[in-house]
């Protein structure tokens, strides 16, 4: 009887331990690229603005573009332990990046083509971390 109890608690501990592991769903890819001025053809230097997967609002955080114009957008993620969250709100999330910088016109960038070129089909789901390179993105001055 003692052996069965020990075996039962061993199985129970293993299942609880595996359930306590944080799992991550990647709703969007990480996106990198470079921002350039469309008139001067020069990279933007050390400017703050918004680049993200949602339209900016008053709660949006700004990012600073590096000296070479480079930027990185972290992926949108959902974390969970036991119960996987509903993804209904995210399944039809458009493959768009919104860009807003002072003295430049706002831009909406469709990244679906880059995603299809750079992410293997077997990793194009929410379970895999994905990274895409957008290359040079030109912004029009106001």
Chain segment 60-119, per-residue pLDDT in tens: 778 889 999 999 999 999 899 888 888 787 778 889 999 999 999 999 999 999 999 999
Q: How does residue 125 score in pLDDT terms, banded at 50, 70 and 90?
A: confident
Give per-residue pLDDT as tens, 36-65: 999 999 999 889 999 998 877 777 778 889
Q: What pLDDT is recorded for position 33?
A: 96
Rounded Cα gap, residues 73 and 31, in angstroms? 5
* Domains by residue range for the chain, with CATH: 28-139 (2.60.40)
Give per-residue pLDDT as tens, 7-37: 555 555 555 555 578 899 999 999 999 999 9
């Amino acid at each position: 009887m003692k052996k069965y109890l020990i075996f039962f608690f061993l199985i129970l501990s293993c299942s609880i331990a595996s359930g306590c592991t944080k799992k991550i769903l990647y709703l969007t890819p990480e996106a990198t690229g470079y921002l350039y001025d469309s008139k001067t053809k020069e990279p933007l230097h050390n400017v703050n603005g918004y680049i993200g997967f949602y339209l900016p609002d008053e709660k949006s955080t700004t990012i600073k573009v590096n000296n070479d114009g480079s930027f990185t957008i972290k992926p949108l993620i959902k974390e969970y332990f036991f119960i996987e969250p509903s993804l209904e709100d995210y399944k039809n999330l458009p493959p768009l990046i919104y860009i807003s910088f002072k003295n430049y016109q706002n831009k909406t960038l469709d990244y679906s083509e880059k995603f299809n070129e750079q992410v293997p089909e077997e990793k194009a789901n929410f379970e895999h971390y994905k990274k895409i390179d957008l290359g040079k993105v030109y912004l029009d001055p106001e």
